[in-house]
Amino acid sequence: MTNSQAQEPPRLYGGWRRSRTLGIGLLNTGQTVVVVAAVLLPILVANVGGLDTLVVTIPLALVVIALACWQRHGVPLLNLAVGRVRWQVATWKGETSYRGLFQEHPRALDLPGVLAPTKLLAVEDSGGSGRVGLVWNQATGQMAATLLLSPGGALLANRSQVNANVAAWGEVLASLANEESVDAATVTIQITPSSGAALADHVRRRIDRQAPDLARETVGELVKAAPRASAQLAAWFTLVTSPGRAADRPATPAEAAAETLRRLDGVDLAGAGADVLRRATDTDLVRLVRGAFHPEDADAPDAQMEALTWDQAGPVGHEEGKTEYEHDGAVSVSWVLREAPRKPITYDVLLPLLAPGRFTRRITIGYRVLPTEEAAAVVERELNAADARAEYRRRTQRTTTRRERADATAAERNADQEAYGAGLAQWTIYVTTTVTDPADLPAARREVEQAAKRAGGLRFRYAYYGQAAAFCAGLPAGVHPLAS
């Protein structure tokens, strides 16, 4: 590395902001509607039933207003209350529990939860690269195709190369805005702790006895250190498409699969710092899904995985709780992104989350790149909402806070960049940790929470009452809230 490279300041990235709709003050549209309705309802009821009704309606209105305005974990209390009620009703109906049955006929049962409408397709690639696996959501018509990746490390790369990789990834996302049938894309990194025994055996069989003593000693020291920080890493890129929105609308599932593979071929990850190993086959998808639900089967032989059908890739039983998800003897906890960093960050912001730990961890970044027309409408709506909030503050003679001024500036900057051709993407992050012994769950929670605190201003919250959905969002099955 030259002195100019060593002294070159790191490039910073930022400019994220939470989408905000038109509302009173800091409230969004939904909160504003609830507050106005809560204020007007006692008046309307009093006109019909008399002033005596105010004794009941006013306290109820105050409670609703408080729930709509106050927030916890970045979510209005009213939304949390509604989610809690819906989850409780689902619990009473038995929808949060699943118990598989053994039946003589294969494919007699579906996968549970959000994976229920999915079907695994094994198609032959017209390019002659072999069999490819696609996940077809029969309820939405979406199809998901996956690329297995080998990510390149950035710790030993020079800064200019890393900046080029980040820029190339931005171009990959921008190119998706021009694909009318692309709904979303996800990138997942799964870190599974390893004892290091496999690495030691692998190295021991390949040591050349004629090698210099220093080289053999160095390799031996590295192998001895490996058990304390050794991990198996798996990475994949999943593209979610709606083939029915393509210009040449496919008439059959085979044509829809061909349309999805064409869109996958258009994704070029060569410059983004990751090597594409291959397209995921149906066996690869079964392994990833089955290994997530039943960790002991993650390293099962290929013959065993090939014998499984798609419905057998899921859990034999599961139980969804408020902040945990039990499945096949394992327990998982999932978090979702609450707030992006407010300050500019460097490229290595996620390294604490990606570092090996004691427990299995899966990090998924989901993107929905907005089409050009929709992006223009969104930024204009954001500007109008910012102007309306500014006018409200002027009329109420309320002083603008620094955070409000920064948000308005960010909205104008995004609009300017979009006007000059920049793309607009919605994104989020899911983090899931899995343990096979429930006694290890508190330690696994602390491990993720401590890593998240070191991740440069990223703030996470539990996926309250949505643990099963957040868990499945990290699988290569096309389940992604931004794509629905």
The SS3 call for residue 324 is: coil
Query: Per-residue pLDDT for the chain (484 aa), expressed as one digit of tens each?
Result: 444 444 467 788 887 877 776 666 667 777 788 888 888 888 888 888 888 888 888 888 888 888 888 877 777 888 788 888 888 888 888 878 887 665 554 544 578 888 989 999 998 876 656 789 999 999 888 999 999 998 876 565 677 888 888 888 988 888 888 788 899 999 999 998 865 555 666 677 778 888 888 888 888 887 776 655 567 889 999 999 999 888 788 888 888 998 899 999 888 888 888 888 899 999 999 999 999 999 988 888 888 888 888 988 989 888 999 899 999 889 999 999 988 888 888 888 898 998 888 899 999 999 988 887 888 888 888 888 777 777 777 777 777 777 777 777 888 888 887 777 777 888 999 999 999 999 999 999 999 999 998 887 889 999 988 899 999 999 999 988 765 5
pTM of the model: 0.83
DSSP state of 247: S
Give the number of other Cβ atoms within 10 Å of residue 8's Cβ: 14
Cα–Cα distance measured from residue 457 to residue 216, given in angstroms and rounded to the nearest whole number: 42
**CA dist 269 to 40, 165, 274, 350, Å?**
55, 9, 6, 19
Q: How many residues are there in the chain?
A: 484
DSSP string, 57-95: HHHHHHHHHHHHH-EETTEEHHHHHHHHHHHHHHHHTTT
